[in-house]
A = this chain, B = another copy of it.
């Protein structure tokens, strides 16, 4: 199984603290890592089939405070698909002149949809097949970039299809919102004024967000397991899609 990390913020925010917590878990999840940062419509994607603990790319990400509104990160423990660059999450495709980014935690059994559209997997993971199918169905459902509200409705219908084939915890973003689908395990919290301190669960690192933020800053963080010990994380109910815009919960819908 893998571990996911997502961030959605109302002001460009770095994820150095959270990524440090995630990377610490790479001891058990050493089959690659990836992190995608949206900057407006632009996207940076860093992937490496090496462990996030030893990869020079991860080392750079740990020290370069890239500020972003939407981030999706993943550390991989290979289940389906070899350890290879093309199997590293997150995956990226372009649709309607926007990049779409997706990372998956879980296993799908026997999900072999017909891919008749413009999206084909490059690697050999069940995750990339599911992402390509999602993009294909989104392309059929809308003529252009939908509103976040419309997209939430469409995704809540689509996500249950792959989810019926196994565990399908998923983070998806097009740079406008962060979509988090829980199938078995996903937690989230919102950090906002008054900011406090936080301590990583896997490390002795702590940070005082009050000293680093402005009162109007707001950031939502989503992770497979709570990353900190002294903040309140909300566990998502299986089968729900939680959407974040501008660092706040925008919608929570049951996928059925």
Secondary structure type dominating chain A contacts: mixed
A34 to chain B, nearest CB (A): 10
A47 touches B47 (CB 8 A): no
A85 and B122 contact, Cβ closer than 8 Å, known pairs A60-B56, A93-B94: no
Residue of B nearest to A84 (CB): B42
Partner of A94, one of B41, B59, B88, B119: B119
Contact residues, A227-251 vs B (CB, 8 A): none
- With a CB–CB cut-off of 8 A, which chain B residues contact A87? 42
A96 touches B120 (CB 8 A): yes
Q: At the interface, yes or no: A191 with Cβ under 8 Å from chain B? A: no
Contact residues, A80-127 vs B (CB, 8 A): 84-88, 92-99, 117-123
Q: How many Å lie between the Cα of A46 and that of B13 in the bound state?
A: 20
Q: How many Å lie between the Cα of A44 and that of B36 in the bound state?
A: 12
Partner of A57, one of B48, B64, B86, B97: B64
Copies of this protein in the assembly total 2
- With a CB–CB cut-off of 8 A, which chain B residues contact A28? none
Residue of B nearest to A92 (CB): B92
Partner of A85, one of B40, B47, B64: B40
Partner of A40, one of B44, B48, B63, B86: B86
B118 touches A118 (CB 8 A): yes
Q: How many Å lie between the Cα of A18 and that of B67 in the bound state?
A: 30
Q: How many Å lie between the Cα of A48 and that of B87 in the bound state?
A: 24
Residue of B nearest to A91 (CB): B94
- With a CB–CB cut-off of 8 A, which chain B residues contact A43? 85-86, 122
- With a CB–CB cut-off of 8 A, which chain B residues contact A86? 39-43
- With a CB–CB cut-off of 8 A, which chain B residues contact A84? 39-40, 42
A72 to chain B, nearest CB (A): 16
A44 and B41 contact, Cβ closer than 8 Å, known pairs A57-B60, A99-B122, A120-B94: no
Q: How many Å lie between the Cα of A139 and that of B120 in the bound state?
A: 13
Q: At the interface, yes or no: A45 with Cβ under 8 Å from chain B? A: yes
A190 to chain B, nearest CB (A): 26
A197 to chain B, nearest CB (A): 28
Instruction: List 4 tightest A-B contacts by C-beta distance, closest first.
Output: A42-B85, A118-B118, A42-B86, A97-B120
